[in-house]
Structure 1
Amino acid sequence: MDPVNALNEIAFWLERELAPSFKVQAFRKAADAIGSLDADDIAARARDGRLKRMKGIGARTFEVISQAVDGQVPDYLANLRERGAAPLAEGGAELRAALRGDLHSHSEWSDGGSPIPLMVAAARNLGREYLALTDHSPNLTIANGLSVERLTEQLEVVAEINAQHDDFTLLRGIEVDILETGELDQTPEMLGRLDIVVASVHSKLRSDRATMTERMLRGIRNPHTTVLGHCTGRLVTGSRGTRPPSEFDSAAVFAACAEHQVAVEINSRPERQDPPDELIREALDAGCLFSIDTDAHAPGQLDFLAYGAERAARNQVPPERIITTWPLERLLEWSRSGC
């Protein structure tokens, strides 16, 4: 077995399990450390002990590489594969199978943990037809948000990746902050160059109901907005602790989404589960479209779509109302119609 592939697959399964980042990075760094070596060199270094002295190689990763070099599936990987054989969610299997893509993901360009090619490889391995790369906008400095210059550079990378594939499309996107004024945190010119604009509130989440409602409505009415991201901002579990949902006039917000053809995101991250079930049903009754997205910050998290599919199915969201079940051509025709 190729040792680099073995190390990266281990990292994938660990990310899928929400393992601590230090554990995941140990395998990613080991894969990087040996990535430039040819197979014979890796094998020689493993057998004479030089591999143990390489920076980024620890006892566990050395064991994995050695077993892979010997033609085995490493024990550590075999165990993870066995654990990962069960689906992440029990319900929503039919809807999950209908999902073609994912419109919310992050790379190491902002606050994700992996290079863009690794995110693309994972999406393709999971059978996705498209993935939107939606790194953060400049205002979110804590997440290394992209300036106009950096986003312009990233779009060139996206074009290069798309030139390499005829069975997969990496969509040009952004997760743009809805600022306190309701404006979107990127220039209209740059937003006009993108396929997908996920507009989200990331600051002043405890604003009063009227203030938050007006802020969200202005963001939704912006003709560049295609998806309203994690609309309540709540956290229900996880390492960051919990956070209550923001207060806003949900009837007004979902009516605006329906009117302006902005999809309501069903965020699949286990710590978010956003919107809550009652708001999914309210948005459904309001005539909204939906986008089931992972908000993945690592390759393994791209499998989180199962969680969102389960929640959508439980709340009886019809597949035709979910834009991530649409073929790419229909999705792009829809997303460009509002600009």
Structure 2
Amino acid sequence: MEAVEALKEIGFWLERELAKTYRVEAFRKAAAAIEPLSPDELAKQVKDGSLKRLKGIGDRTFGIIAEAVAGEVPGYLADLRERGEKPLAVGGAKLRAKLRGDLHSHSNWSDGGSSIAEMARAAVWRGREYQVVTDHSPRLTIANGLSAERLAEQLDVIAEVDAEHDDLRLLSGIEVDILDDGQLDQTDEMLGRLDVVVASVHSKLKMDRDLMTRRMVTAIANPHTNVLGHCTGRLVAGSRGGRDQSRFDPEMVFAACEKFDVAVEINSRPERRDPPSRLIQIALDYGCLFAINTDAHAPGQLDFLDYGAERASANKVPASRIVTTWPVERLLEWSNAKH
């Protein structure tokens, strides 16, 4: 197999397993280092050992490249593939099979680790019918949020990558910050140009309960909002440690979601598991729609849908009320209706 593809695939499986970032980056950097080389040039440098002197190539990655150049599937990759045959979650298989797309993912335009093109290729490989690129908005400077000007540039890139794929609709979107007063952190003009808008609270998560409720309901009522992202902001595991969920009136918030036709996100990231099951049940009682999303920041994290499907299934969320089970035409009809 091609050495570049072997290295990238290893990165995918490691991301899927939540490996340390430095381990993943070692393989992705090695792939980038050899990508400009022709097959003959790569084979020559492997044979004479000069490839080891190339920046980004270590003993481990050199060995993997050598196996690939010799026409073999590298042993390390074969082991990862074998582990990857098992789903990430035990339950939810039937619901997982019904999921067609994902409305929340990030690229290296904000705080993701891979290009839009790489994310699209992985989405095709993992069987997506559609994938939405939702990088962050300007206020989230720590995540390199997109100004209106950068977002406009990104729309052109998304259109170009979308045109390269016959078996995937790559859709435009944003994870827009819900500001303190409930306004959305992007211009109305730009929000109106997007296919899907995910609105999330990222700051002042300890805000007073009533003020947080008003903040969230204001954002939900905005005619551009399609999805309420990770509504509590909690963290239950992972390298960032724990974080308590924000306090708000769930009945008012989910009643607003139902009234304004906004889907409640079931965030599939294992460190979030947001909303908690109790809130999923309240949203169900209020007749809300749901979106099972990965919030992927790297290609390997696109498989996190397994976790979201497991939680939705355990909470008996009907597939008919999950917008990510819908065909893309129906999804876009729904998302554009408010705009």
**Alpha-carbon shift at residue 44 of structure 1 (Å):** 0.9
Relative to structure 2, which stretch is displaced further, 43-52 or 222-231?
A: 43-52
**Alpha-carbon shift at residue 283 of structure 1 (Å):** 0.4
Where 1:224 maps in the other structure, the secondary structure is coil
Cα distance between partner residues in 2 of 1:338 and 1:50: 59
Partner residue of 1:217? 217
Cα distance between partner residues in 2 of 1:118 and 1:167: 15
Question: For residues 29-73 of structure 1, what are the alpha-carbon distances to aligned partners after superposition, in whole Å with 9 as ceiling and x for unaligned?
Answer: 110111111111111111101110001101110010000111111
Question: For residues 217-259 of structure 1, what are the alpha-carbon distances to aligned partners after superposition, in whole Å with 9 as ceiling and x for unaligned?
Answer: 0000000000000000000000000001000000000000000
Structure 2 letter corresponding to 1:26: A
Partner residue of 2:276? 276
Cα distance between partner residues in 1 of 2:125 and 2:325: 18
1:238-317 paired onto structure 2 within 5 Å: 238-317=238-317
Partner residue of 1:95? 95
Q: Structure 1 residue 138 and structure 2 residue 138: aligned?
A: yes
Structure 2 letter corresponding to 1:43: A
Question: TM-score, normalised on structure 2?
Answer: 0.99
Question: For residues 140-190 of structure 1, what are the alpha-carbon distances to aligned partners after superposition, in whole Å with 9 as ceiling and x for unaligned?
Answer: 000000001100000000111111122211111000000001000000000
**Alpha-carbon shift at residue 128 of structure 1 (Å):** 0.1
Where 2:230 maps in the other structure, the secondary structure is coil
Partner residue of 1:336? 336
Question: For residues 81-101 of structure 1, what are the alpha-carbon distances to aligned partners after superposition, in whole Å with 9 as ceiling and x for unaligned?
Answer: 122121101100010000000
Cα distance between partner residues in 2 of 1:185 and 1:223: 14
Q: Pairwise CA RMSD of aligned residues? A: 0.6
Where 1:232 maps in the other structure, the secondary structure is coil
Identity %: 68
Cα distance between partner residues in 2 of 1:30 and 1:171: 30
**Alpha-carbon shift at residue 139 of structure 1 (Å):** 0.3
Partner residue of 1:109? 109
**Alpha-carbon shift at residue 76 of structure 1 (Å):** 1.0
Cα distance between partner residues in 1 of 2:35 and 2:64: 14
Where 1:233 maps in the other structure, the secondary structure is coil
Where 1:278 maps in the other structure, the secondary structure is helix
Question: For residues 116-148 of structure 1, what are the alpha-carbon distances to aligned partners after superposition, in whole Å with 9 as ceiling and x for unaligned?
Answer: 111001000000010000000000000000001
Cα distance between partner residues in 2 of 1:213 and 1:163: 41
Cα distance between partner residues in 1 of 2:137 and 2:25: 25
Partner residue of 2:17? 17
Structure 2 letter corresponding to 1:286: Y
Partner residue of 2:57? 57
Where 1:265 maps in the other structure, the secondary structure is strand
Q: Structure 1 residue 161 and structure 2 residue 161: aligned?
A: yes
Partner residue of 1:122? 122
Cα distance between partner residues in 2 of 1:83 and 1:116: 26
**Alpha-carbon shift at residue 75 of structure 1 (Å):** 1.2
Partner residue of 2:177? 177
Cα distance between partner residues in 2 of 1:85 and 1:94: 17
Structure 2 letter corresponding to 1:233: G
Structure 2 letter corresponding to 1:153: E
Structure 2 letter corresponding to 1:170: L
**Alpha-carbon shift at residue 208 of structure 1 (Å):** 1.1
Where 1:97 maps in the other structure, the secondary structure is helix
Cα distance between partner residues in 1 of 2:162 and 2:109: 18
Structure 2 letter corresponding to 1:269: R
Partner residue of 1:45? 45
Question: TM-score, normalised on structure 1?
Answer: 0.99
**Alpha-carbon shift at residue 335 of structure 1 (Å):** 0.3
Structure 2 letter corresponding to 1:72: E
**Alpha-carbon shift at residue 21 of structure 1 (Å):** 0.5
Where 2:40 maps in the other structure, the secondary structure is helix
Cα distance between partner residues in 2 of 1:50 and 1:169: 42
